[in-house]
A and B are shown apart, each in its own frame.
Chain A
Amino acid sequence: MKKFIEGSYAVAEAVKLCRPGVVSAYPITPQTHIVEGLAQFVADGELKAEFVNVESEHSAASAVLGAVATGVRAFTSSSSQGLLLMTEVIFNIAGMRLPLVLACANRAVSAPINIWNDQQDVMTIRDSGWILLFAENIQEVIDLHIQAYRISEDHSIMLPVMVNLDGYILTHGLEVADMPSQEQVDKFLPPYKPLYKLDTSDPMTLGCLAMPEHYMEARVAIQKTQEAALDFIPKVAGEFKKVFGRESGGLVEAYKIEDAKQVIVAMGSIVGTIKETVDELRAQGKKVGVLKLITYRPFPKQAILNALKNVPEIAVVDKSISLGSNSPLYTDLTSAFIGQDKVSKISGFVLGLGGRDITKDSIKQVFDKLSGKQVDCEFIDVKKELLEEEYAGN
């Protein structure tokens, strides 16, 4: 059913349709509406679940870990400092091969404290073994949550999935989106069938100590599963289309890149702005396009190479940075091209940190600069005069 809905409530409704038995979360802006929505569903009896009001994000992640380990589908959500506080548990959940879905309302990381959007938070856990999906708009927010449970709980995967949605832009934005029916979701997403669980009728030990003779294989197994997920994620998107009738999910989405001379690679809501800019520039005769990553982990190297093989100039835009090096997606992308016969010119750009506005003009600057000298890490829309103030040495 089509509705005009805020992104956060769209997450809450989509998650409700997935029938989790335990929800646990701790409030942090801009994630709050998501869990408030779920709390209300539980209070109204619309969602039969245990809502555990914990005292921190560390405990929220731990509580859902315990719930999934007991064989019950669970959900949590966080952002920024909250995700960072969860970090230890985030790695643990993946290592224990427990399927879970977490919505991350992407937000800048302190200091300075800032509640607005960028994607630095998720980048701190990109090496954790979680499958990381990024939504461009509210429809995708809904669809990716439903697909996330299917991916995560499949016995060939058994890894947690994080659905990233840009703070405020998607969490507080309103759009018309199709909210699937319970019937459709039930058809697509069967009840959770645990491979292993805490059960007094069949006791097992979870979370063993692994000595050097066993540890490495446990980690390699996650890597192998991440690779397998590159095939499985598009399969789930295919099945999704059969039930819901729309293309959604998968690894990447190419927009006007067949004949493009310049392509921007990006993730999340920024892709919407880039698409609009691409349309404007194309109207002026410029051959430009955008490649959207829906799946960031596993990194869809082959899908990216296939999509970009004939593109001479590639710009990677990140809303995060590995301070002291380059931005994460740029680093991933450039390494994907190593060993290829034909290597395009690839430049890296960082923009929109801490909610700095990203306009069509910002995107045009990226295309302009891409024609110039190759750059690794160029900041867009930075105020030079403020930089001079910041550095005492200047």
Chain B
Amino acid sequence: MPETKILYNPGHTACGGCGQAIAARLVIEAAGENTIIVNNTGCLEVFTTKYPESAWGVPFIHSLFENAGAVASGVESALKFLGKKEGTNVIAQAGDGGTADIGLQALSGMWERGHDILSVCYDNEAYMNTGIQRSGLTPFDSNTTTSPTGKESFGNPKMKKPVPEIARAHGIPYVATASVAFVRDLQNKVKKAISIKGPKYIQIHVPCPLGWRHEGAQTVTVARAAIETGLYPIFEYVNGELAGVQKIKPKPVEEYLKLQGRFKHLLKAPEQIKKIQEIADNNIKKYGLKLEA
């Protein structure tokens, strides 16, 4: 057997410190070479497949922005027809916009029909490929180009859409969140997911230095702070039951917010910080995140 095939080549055109670029490599390396990837339109597809080059060492298809769920359903059905489904993983992956908004219908259909496919959402919390517009997964009070701050605005007025809950409501056997800051946890989850038959969903928090406005070298620090403040809970549902969480010693949310330009306007708005602290507190309570001494 050849030792290590390169499944995801360097030399793609992502920005320095792109969380999604790192996470995508971690995902495919965990899934292994017997994997077919179906990718929605978005930064990842753009920076890995500029013709005539491709970063992908596994079969990869990109069709449109919202149809990875449906294309993957066709790929999986074709593999079944060919008798090749056993031993081949199918991953449908997309950004947060391609998952939570425009691609949700196709994903819902895929989950409901029970296809043996892992869907991965690279959650960089906005439409980055088109220039940092808000999506359904943009966090509360985030400054984006379509939820700008202004005299009457603190940024995005809505909370993150609970996509993991929506996935879970489909009765699928595996739903998890992960972060590019916790490599082993992320890769274990991918391995566990593909070992389970049926539809799986993993949502990975991936900082975007350009969109979140932090240094490229800070990607992991920022991602870790999201978890440590309780703003990005890391959990795992197996067959609908909460099977594990990443425990934390909660830090105040400012520790996360102050690292990023998209939240800069909040540092002089204690009322808003209080609201965001409430979001974190709710997460901590809901998922039992607090590490008891």
Binding site for B on A (CB under 8 A): 21-22, 24, 48-50, 52-56, 58-60, 62-72, 74, 88-89, 92, 96, 198-200, 203-211, 214
Interface string of B37-81 (1 = CB under 8 A from A): 010000001100111101011111111101101111111111111
Name 16 extra pairs, CB < 8 A, besides A55-B108, A66-B63: A52-B113, A54-B113, A58-B67, A63-B74, A63-B77, A65-B67, A65-B74, A66-B70, A68-B78, A70-B36, A198-B61, A203-B58, A204-B60, A207-B45, A207-B61, A209-B49
Q: How far is it, in angstroms, between the C-alpha of A86 and the C-alpha of B49 when the chains are bound?
A: 25
Q: How far is it, in angstroms, between the C-alpha of A60 and the C-alpha of B75 when the chains are bound?
A: 12
Q: How far is it, in angstroms, between the C-alpha of A65 and the C-alpha of B76 when the chains are bound?
A: 12
Q: How far is it, in angstroms, between the C-alpha of A206 and the C-alpha of B59 when the chains are bound?
A: 8
B51→A24 contact, CB < 8 A:
no
**Which residues on A sit within 8 Å (CB–CB) of B88?**
200
Q: In the complex, what's the smallest C-beta–C-beta distance from A296 to chain B, in angstroms?
A: 26
For residue B171, CB closer than 8 A to chain A, the reply is no
A66→B71 contact, CB < 8 A:
yes
Q: A200-B58, A208-B50, A209-B45 are in contact. Are A56 and B75 (CB under 8 A)?
A: no
B109→A209 contact, CB < 8 A:
no
* Minimum-distance CB pairs A-B, first 8: A66-B74, A62-B70, A59-B70, A63-B74, A70-B78, A55-B109, A207-B62, A205-B54
Q: In the complex, what's the smallest C-beta–C-beta distance from B170 to chain A, in angstroms?
A: 12
Instruction: Tell me if A's interface is mostly helix, strand, loop or mixed.
Output: mixed
The number of chain B residues with a CB under 8 A from chain A is: 44
B64→A211 contact, CB < 8 A:
no
B78→A88 contact, CB < 8 A:
no
Closest to A88 in B: B64
> Which residues of B99-144 have CB atoms within 8 Å of chain A's CB atoms?
105-106, 108-109, 112-113
**Which residues on B sit within 8 Å (CB–CB) of A52?**
73-74, 77, 113
A66→B78 contact, CB < 8 A:
yes
Please pick, from B34, B54, B78, the residue contacting A208 in the complex, using a CB distance under 8 A. Answer: B54
A58→B66 contact, CB < 8 A:
yes
A/B interface sample: 6 pairs, CB < 8 A: A59-B73, A66-B77, A89-B63, A198-B60, A203-B56, A211-B51
Q: How far is it, in angstroms, between the C-alpha of A261 and the C-alpha of B77 when the chains are bound?
A: 55
